Structure 1
C-alpha cells in the first residue's frame, strides 16, 4: 500500500508531505495506481520548482519514499501559489484513493 501523509500547519497550510510504499495493484511496470501516485507527487514538486522558483527540501529513498518540505517564510504571493499546487496534488491523490482505496491511503496531520 502507498502511504501518504500530509502535514499541515495550525492555519491549514501544507508544510510537507511524505509518500512511501508500493501499491501492489499489478506487477511492476503495469501498476497504474503506483504510476498515477508517482506522477501526481513528482509533478507537483516539479511544478512548484518550475512555476514558483521555490526549491523544497526533497528526500528520496527506497520503497517509493518521497519527502517534500516547503521552506518557511515565503512571500505571501509565492506561498499562495505553492499551496494551490499542493492542494491540487491532494485532490488528485484523493481521486485515486476514492477508486483504489485498498492500494493507497492518505492521512492528514498537524
Structure 2
C-alpha cells in the first residue's frame, strides 16, 4: 500500500512523503502506482518550473519513496501551495476509488 503523509503548517502544505507500493497489478502494469506517480511528480515538476519555491526533494533509489519539503517562509508561496493543493485533491480522488492501495494522512505541524 502507498502511504501518503501530508504535513500542514498554518493551513499550508509544509511537506509530504509517499512510501510503499500499491501492488494493484503486476510490475509495469500497476495503474494505481502509475497514477500516484504521475500526479505527484507532475505537481512537483510544476512547482519547480512555475514558481520560485525552494524545495528539498528526496526519493528512493528503487522507487517507493518520495519526500518533498518547503524551505523558508510559506506565506510567499501562494502559487506553489495552489499546485500542491491540486495534487492533494487528485490523490484523494485516487484514494476514494482505490482505497485498498493508497492511504492519505494529513497532520498539522506548526
TM-score range, shorter chain: over 0.9
Root-mean-square deviation (Å): 1.2
Specify the alignment match of 1:23 in structure 2.
22
TM-score scaled to structure 1, two decimals?
0.92
Alignment coverage as a number of residue pairs:
107
After the TM superposition, which residues 40-59 of structure 1 pair with which residues of structure 2 at under 5 Å, given as runs? 40-59=39-58
Specify the alignment match of 2:97 in structure 1.
99
TM-score scaled to structure 2, two decimals?
0.92
Q: Give the Cα separation in 2 of the matches to 1:14 and 1:44.
A: 13
Structure with bigger helix share is 1
Q: Give the Cα separation in 2 of the matches to 1:53 and 1:73.
A: 12
Residues 55 and 32 (structure 1 numbering): CA distance in 2 closer, same or farther, change over 3 Å? Answer: same
| C-alpha displacement of 1:72 | 1.7
| C-alpha displacement of 1:54 | 2.3
| C-alpha displacement of 1:109 | 0.9
Gaps (5+ residues) in structure 2?
A: none
Residues 80 and 25 (structure 1 numbering): CA distance in 2 closer, same or farther, change over 3 Å? Answer: same
Structure with bigger strand share is 2
Specify the alignment match of 1:86 in structure 2.
84
